[in-house]
Structures are given as structure tokens and as C-alpha cells.
């Protein structure tokens, strides 16, 4: 049985709908203790959490948003339980998936200790990833309606403002373990079309991204493409709708439509 270390956070409220998503984040802070302190702080102020995310003229006593998650997984594989799954933790912020906002109301949030892009995006240790996989298996067992396709990145649900857990996170390893998804582009044939953007936008929407069908490569579409690439094609996160990205998009959207 997986052992969870209790580190209760007061930052939660009541759910308003059933759980149907799991959102993976990185903490993006200096270390695990700083992240745990921030996620359990009932009255956070700027001076307690200095870092590159704050402007130089931030007042020391400036209040910060209260945040939390259901779980934190540190580099050694320890799993901290902060908020009971039955409650609504505050981890997703302004976000949307499958056309619905208030992702916090429907999601379990897992924070994975990693400095993130502000601290050089370190590699995720094997022990940490194994712990994330086991935690997801536990969650699936507790909530049988949750499936691998319901595990998403913070950058998936908020592509215009978030990039975590980042392009170094091993999503393929999670998929191989049966707790996430991965596109299989074998036998995928792209439509011959002078303008692929309408197809791209349709496929992004099928997957769950909040993309309007404008028919043009707008900022919203490019942000969603970058989020898709961070997760499924991390070698190129330019946001370009090139042939390989389109093959992966077509394959995954087809898999999820079956």
C-alpha cells in the first residue's frame, strides 16, 4: 500500500461537480520544502517566497494568492497528501478543458517537485516518476471512472500562461505504464490540403484544448500547439503545424474519437 505523508493545507473548498481529470504540475520553486510551505500557507506574502516570478518592486507584505494541490511528489519519491481528493484544491487557476472552465472543480491536482523553467528545468529522477505512476494507479483505483486519457498537463489546460510540467517530463513512460496516453501515428495519412489549420484546430479541440475554429493560425492555436508539442513532441516546441506534429495530432485525435 502506498504511504502518504500528511501535510494538510487549509486552502480548499467544496467541489461542485464530480472528479473527471487529473492535472500534473511542476512546483517551479527552489526545493520541496519551499513548495510545501507555499501550498499550505493560509496567508502567503511576497517576502516568504522570493524568486524570479516576482517583480523587483514587489512589496514584502504584498499578499499572494492562496494555492494548494491534493498531492506533492518530491524528488526522492515521497508523496505528501495536502487536500483530501473529495475537496476542491486550488491548483489549476484560470483554465479550460473540453470547453469547460473551473478545472479545479473536477480535477485532482498533483504537484511534482522540480525547479521548472525558472531554475533550468532539471531532469525528473526515476524514483520520482515511479512514485507519480504509483500515485496515479492509486487514484484510478479509488475513482474507477478515471482513465489514462483523463490525465493532463497544466500546460494543456492553460496553454497561454503555463508550461508545466514541461518538455522534460516523461509522458511516454507514463503511457507505457498505463496511466496516460500517447499517439500512435502508424498508418496515419494526412489529408492533402493547401491550408491544414482548420484540420489542426478541429483535432486540438477533439483532444480537449480550448481552441476556436477560426481557420487561421492565431495566438490561441499556436499556444495550444506548443502545449501539445511539449507533451507529445518535446524535441520541437516551436508551435509550428509541421508534418510530424500534424501526424501526431491526427493519430491522437483519432484514438480519442474511437
- 123 and 216 part of one domain: no
**How many angstroms from the chain centroid is the CA of residue 241?**
22
Q: What pLDDT does 55 receive? A: 86
Q: Assess whether 39 and 88 both reside in one domain.
A: yes
Residue 68 sits in the same domain as residue 133: yes
pLDDT at 186: 81
DSSP secondary structure string for all residues of 80-114: EE-S-TTEEES-S-S--BTTB--GGGTEEEEEE--
Distances (CA, A) of 151 to 16, 110, 147: 20, 10, 8
> From CA 248, how far away is CA 184, in angstroms rounded?
7
Q: Is residue 102 part of a domain?
A: yes
Choose the catalytic residue: 111, 123, 220, 244: 111
Q: Is the pLDDT of residue 188 over 80?
A: no
Q: Which pLDDT score is estimated for 191?
A: 67
14-43: average pLDDT: 97
List CB contacts of 217: < 8 A, sequence separation 6 or more: 197, 241
Which helix (H) or strand (E) element contains residue 12? strand 12-14
> Are 14 and 88 members of one domain?
yes
pLDDT given at position 211: 96
Q: Do 230 and 141 sit in the same domain of this protein?
A: no
pLDDT at residue 30 in the model: 95
Same domain, 155 and 212: no
Residue 243's domain comprises: 197-257
**How much is the pLDDT for 5?**
98
Average pLDDT over residues 22-30: 97
Task: State CA 114 to chain mean position distance.
Answer: 13
In the chain, the number of structural domains is 2
Residue 82 has pLDDT above 70, yes or no: yes
Of 35, 34, 33, 41, nearest to 10 by C-alpha is 41
In a domain, 118, yes or no: yes
Query: Is the pLDDT score of 193 beyond 70?
Result: no
Question: CA-CA distance, 132 to 129, in Å (whole number)?
Answer: 5
What pLDDT score does 192 carry?
Answer: 66
CATH code, 62: 3.40.80.10
The yes-or-no answer on residue 111 being catalytic is yes
Residue 11 has pLDDT above 70, yes or no: yes
Same domain as 96, residue 59: yes
Higher pLDDT, 56 or 108: 108
Evaluate if residue 172 carries a pLDDT over 70: yes
- Domain check: are 145 and 244 in the same one? no
- Report helix, strand or coil for 36: helix
Does residue 167 sit in the same domain as residue 211?
A: no
Mean pLDDT throughout 73-90?
98
Average of per-residue pLDDT values in the chain:
95
Mention every residue, 6+ apart, whose C-beta is less than 8 A from residue 212. Answer: 201, 218, 220
21, 93: one domain: yes
> Would residue 185 count as lying in a domain?
no
Task: Inform me whether the pLDDT recorded for 53 exceeds 70.
Answer: yes
Lowest mean pLDDT among 121-130, 189-198, 241-250: 189-198
Mean pLDDT of 120-141: 98
pTM of the full predicted structure? 0.96
187 part of a folded domain: no
pLDDT at 56: 84
What is the per-residue pLDDT for 194?
Answer: 67
**Residue-wise burial string across 146-178, b where 16 or more C-beta atoms lie within 10 A, e elsewhere:** bebebbbbbbbbbbeebbbbbbebbbebbbebe
Amino acid at each position: 500500500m502506498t504511504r502518504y505523508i500528511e501535510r494538510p493545507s487549509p486552502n480548499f473548498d467544496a467541489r461542485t461537480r464530480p472528479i473527471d481529470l487529473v492535472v500534473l504540475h511542476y512546483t517551479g520553486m527552489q526545493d520541496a520544502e519551499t513548495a510545501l510551505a507555499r501550498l499550505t500557507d493560509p496567508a502567503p506574502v511576497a517576502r516568504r517566497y522570493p524568486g524570479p516570478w516576482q517583480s523587483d518592486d514587489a512589496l514584502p507584505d504584498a499578499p499572494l494568492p492562496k494555492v494548494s494541490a491534493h498531492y506533492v511528489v518530491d524528488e526522492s519519491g515521497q508523496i505528501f497528501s495536502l487536500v483530501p481528493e473529495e475537496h476542491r484544491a486550488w491548483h489549476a487557476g484560470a483554465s479550460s478543458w473540453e470547453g469547460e472552465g473551473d478545472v479545479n472543480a473536477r480535477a485532482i491536482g498533483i504537484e511534482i517537485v522540480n525547479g521548472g523553467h525558472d531554475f533550468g528545468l532539471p531532469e525528473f529522477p526515476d524514483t520520482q516518476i515511479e512514485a507519480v505512476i504509483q500515485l496515479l494507479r492509486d487514484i484510478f483505483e479509488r475513482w474507477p471512472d478515471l482513465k489514462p486519457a483523463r490525465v493532463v498537463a497544466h500546460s494543456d489546460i492553460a496553454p497561454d500562461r503555463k508550461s508545466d510540467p514541461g518538455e522534460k517530463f516523461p509522458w511516454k513512460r507514463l503511457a507505457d505504464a498505463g496511466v496516460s496516453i500517447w499517439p500512435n501515428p502508424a498508418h496515419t495519412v494526412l489529408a492533402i490540403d493547401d491550408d491544414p489549420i482548420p484540420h489542426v484546430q478541429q483535432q486540438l479541440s477533439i483532444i480537449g484544448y480550448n481552441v476556436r475554429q477560426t481557420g487561421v493560425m492565431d495566438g490561441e492555436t499556436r499556444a495550444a500547439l506548443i502545449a501539445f508539442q511539449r507533451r507529445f513532441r518535446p524535441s520541437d516546441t516551436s508551435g509550428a503545424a509541421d508534418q510530424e506534429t500534424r501526424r501526431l495530432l491526427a493519430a491522437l485525435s483519432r484514438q480519442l474519437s474511437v
